[in-house]
Structure 1
Amino acid sequence: MNQDPQDLFQAEAAERRQQQSPLANRMRPLTLDDYVGQEHIIGPGRLLRRSIEADQLSSLILYGPPGTGKTTLASVIANTSSSAFVTLNAVLAGVKVLREEIDAAGHRFAYRQQRTTLFVDEVHRWNKAQQDALLPHVENGAIIFIGATTENPFFEVIKPLVSRSRVFQLRPLDDDAVSTLLTRSLEDPVNGFGGQPVALEDEARQHLVHMANGDARSALNALELAVNTTAEGQDGVIRIDLATAEESIQRRAVLYDKQGDVHYDAVSAFIKSLRGSDPDAALYWGAKMIYAGEDPSFLFRRMAILASEDVGLADPQAVAVVESCWSLFNRIGLPEGLYPLSQAILYLATAPKSNSAMALFAALEAVEQEKDQEVPTPLKDGNRDATAFGHGAGYLYPHAYRDHWVAQQYLPVGLEGRVFFEPGALGYESAIRDQVLRRREELLAAAPEQADVPAEGITYSPDDPGREDWLRRAGNAGSRHLGTVRDAICTRAGMQRHDRVLVVRADNGLLLAEACRAVPEGGVWGQVSSPKAAAGLNLRYSELPELDRPVLATSLGELDPSLRFERVLGMDMLGGPQEAEDLLSVLAKILADGGRMAFSQSLPLMGQRVHSLLDFRAEDKLGTHLREVEENLWANHPNPSLRWTEVDLRDLLAHLPLSAEIELLETVDQRFVSVKEIRSWLNPQSALGAALSSSGFSSNDLAGLSLRMEQELGNQTVPWQRVTALVVTKHHP
Structure 2
Amino acid sequence: MPLADTMRPQRIEEVVGQRHILGEGKVLTRIMESNILPNMIFYGPSGTGKSTVAKIIAKNTDKQFFRLNATTISLSDMKEVMKEADSLLGSNGVLLFLDEIQYLNKKQQQSLLDYIETGRVTLIASTTENPYFYVYSAILSRSTVFEFKPITGDDILPVLRRGIVYAKEHLQIDASVTEAALNHIAQGCGGDVRKALNALELCLYAGAKQNNQVIVDKDLAKQFTQQSIQRFDRSGDEHYDTLSGLQKSIRGSDPDAALHYLGRLLAGGDMLSAIRRLLVIAAEDIGLAYPQAISITKACVDSALQIGLPEARIPLAEAVVLLATAPKSDSAYKGIAKAMEDIQNGKGIGYPRCVQNQHTDGEGGSLGQNYRNPHSYALHYVEQNYMPEDLIGRQYYVYGENKTEQAAKSYWKAVKTKNENR
Q: TM-score, normalised by structure 1?
A: 0.53
In structure 2, the partner of 1:424 is 400
Go from structure 1 to structure 2 and tell me whether the alpha carbon gap of 1:133 and 1:444 turns closer, same or farther (over 3 Å shift). farther
CA distance in 2, matches of 1:443, 1:164: 65
Q: Which moved more, 1:361-370 or 1:274-283?
A: 361-370
* 1:61 alignment partner, one of 37, 41, 51: 41
Q: Does 1:228 align with 2:208?
A: no
CA distance in 2, matches of 1:440, 1:209: 65
CA drift of 1:115 comes to 0.8
Q: Which moved more, 1:178-187 or 1:62-71?
A: 178-187
CA distance in 1, matches of 2:219, 2:301: 40
In structure 2, the partner of 1:145 is 123
Q: Does 1:72 align with 2:72?
A: no
CA distance in 2, matches of 1:189, 1:281: 39
Go from structure 1 to structure 2 and tell me whether the alpha carbon gap of 1:432 and 1:247 turns closer, same or farther (over 3 Å shift). closer
Preserved contact between residue 386 and residue 393 of structure 1 (Cα < 8 Å): no
Go from structure 1 to structure 2 and tell me whether the alpha carbon gap of 1:393 and 1:230 turns closer, same or farther (over 3 Å shift). closer
* 2:229 alignment partner, one of 228, 232, 253: 253
Q: Secondary structure at the match of 1:62?
A: strand
CA drift of 1:62 comes to 0.9
In structure 2, the partner of 1:216 is 193
The structure with more radius of gyration: 1
* 1:81 alignment partner, one of 61, 79, 82: 61
Q: Does 1:383 align with 2:359?
A: yes
Q: Secondary structure at the match of 1:146?
A: strand
CA drift of 1:229 comes to 3.3
* 1:307 alignment partner, one of 272, 276, 282: 282
Q: Does 1:406 align with 2:386?
A: no
Q: Does 1:325 align with 2:305?
A: no
In structure 2, the partner of 1:202 is 179
CA drift of 1:47 comes to 2.1
Corresponding letter in the other structure for 2:256: D
CA distance in 2, matches of 1:30, 1:129: 35
In structure 1, the partner of 2:318 is 343
Q: Does 1:106 align with 2:86?
A: yes
CA distance in 1, matches of 2:377, 2:79: 81
What does 1:241-640 correspond to in 2, within 5 Å? 241-294=217-270, 296-357=271-332, 358-367=334-343, 373=349, 375-379=351-355, 383-385=359-361, 391-392=367-368, 394-412=370-388, 415-426=391-402, 428-439=404-415
* 1:50 alignment partner, one of 30, 37, 58: 30
Preserved contact between residue 64 and residue 171 of structure 1 (Cα < 8 Å): yes
Preserved contact between residue 119 and residue 145 of structure 1 (Cα < 8 Å): yes
Q: Which moved more, 1:134-143 or 1:116-125?
A: 134-143
Map Cα deviations across residues 18-56 of structure 1 (whole Å, 9 max, x no partner): xxx111111122222333321111112222112212221
Preserved contact between residue 178 and residue 216 of structure 2 (Cα < 8 Å): yes
Preserved contact between residue 135 and residue 161 of structure 1 (Cα < 8 Å): yes
CA drift of 1:445 comes to 9.0
CA distance in 1, matches of 2:170, 2:367: 92
Q: Which moved more, 1:159-168 or 1:397-406?
A: 397-406
| Structure with greater contact order relative to length (CA < 8 Å, sep ≥ 6) | 2
RMSD: 3.1
Preserved contact between residue 278 and residue 350 of structure 1 (Cα < 8 Å): yes
Preserved contact between residue 200 and residue 241 of structure 1 (Cα < 8 Å): yes
Preserved contact between residue 12 and residue 56 of structure 2 (Cα < 8 Å): yes
Preserved contact between residue 68 and residue 171 of structure 1 (Cα < 8 Å): yes
CA distance in 2, matches of 1:369, 1:127: 35
Go from structure 1 to structure 2 and tell me whether the alpha carbon gap of 1:428 and 1:142 turns closer, same or farther (over 3 Å shift). same
Corresponding letter in the other structure for 1:314: A
In structure 2, the partner of 1:128 is 106
CA distance in 1, matches of 2:419, 2:351: 17
CA drift of 1:371 comes to 6.0
Q: Which moved more, 1:24-33 or 1:66-75?
A: 24-33
Corresponding letter in the other structure for 2:35: D
Q: Secondary structure at the match of 2:188?
A: helix
Map Cα deviations across residues 576-614 of structure 1 (whole Å, 9 max, x no partner): xxxxxxxxxxxxxxxxxxxxxxxxxxxxxxxxxxxxxxx
Corresponding letter in the other structure for 1:155: F
* 1:179 alignment partner, one of 133, 157, 165: 157
CA drift of 1:146 comes to 0.9
Preserved contact between residue 407 and residue 442 of structure 1 (Cα < 8 Å): no
- State, as a whole percentage, how many aligned pairs show the same letter: 35
CA distance in 2, matches of 1:437, 1:387: 43
Q: Secondary structure at the match of 1:385?
A: coil
CA distance in 1, matches of 2:224, 2:127: 27
CA drift of 1:221 comes to 1.2
Preserved contact between residue 188 and residue 225 of structure 2 (Cα < 8 Å): yes
Preserved contact between residue 41 and residue 48 of structure 1 (Cα < 8 Å): yes
Go from structure 1 to structure 2 and tell me whether the alpha carbon gap of 1:184 and 1:406 turns closer, same or farther (over 3 Å shift). same
Higher strand fraction: Structure 1 or Structure 2? 1
CA drift of 1:195 comes to 5.9
Map Cα deviations across residues 674-720 of structure 1 (whole Å, 9 max, x no partner): xxxxxxxxxxxxxxxxxxxxxxxxxxxxxxxxxxxxxxxxxxxxxxx
Map Cα deviations across residues 271-318 of structure 1 (whole Å, 9 max, x no partner): 122223333322221111110221x22222122222222222333333
Q: Secondary structure at the match of 2:86?
A: helix
